[in-house]
Amino acid sequence: MNLLFRGEWPALWAWCAGALFVPSLALALGTWSQSNLLFEIVYVVLWYVGPLHPVDIPGLDFMGAADASVAAGVPLHFALAAGVALALAAAGRWVRMRT
């Protein structure tokens, strides 16, 4: 809410993109692997190299922790990746229902 009240729209957009990306990734990886273990491993690694160290690898900062990654448009890439992950989850579910 603080980002909203201060009018920091790019940072708010980055936060929303990250908030959509994480559950989409969880759904896609869980659907295809039929386990939560793959998501847990991928997410911990992604969190460690992304938002926890945004200066080192700004391209993996899916939450927009650094201003440089927000300015570079990284949240847009993760918003698109969230859409791809949702499509992959739907495809995985469709495959499971057909077999």
- Binning pLDDT at 50, 70 and 90, where does residue 42 land? very high
Mean pLDDT of 10-23: 92
Model pTM? 0.87
Question: Which burial class, exposed, middle or buried, applies to 86 when counting CB atoms under 10 A from its CB (0-12, 13-18, 19+)?
Answer: middle
- Binning pLDDT at 50, 70 and 90, where does residue 6 land? confident
Per-residue model confidence (pLDDT) at position 1:
66
Mean pLDDT of 63-71: 88
Question: Cα 3–40–50 angle (5° rounding)?
Answer: 45
- Mean pLDDT value across the chain: 92
Question: In the numeric block, which tokens belong to residue 58?
Answer: 């700004």
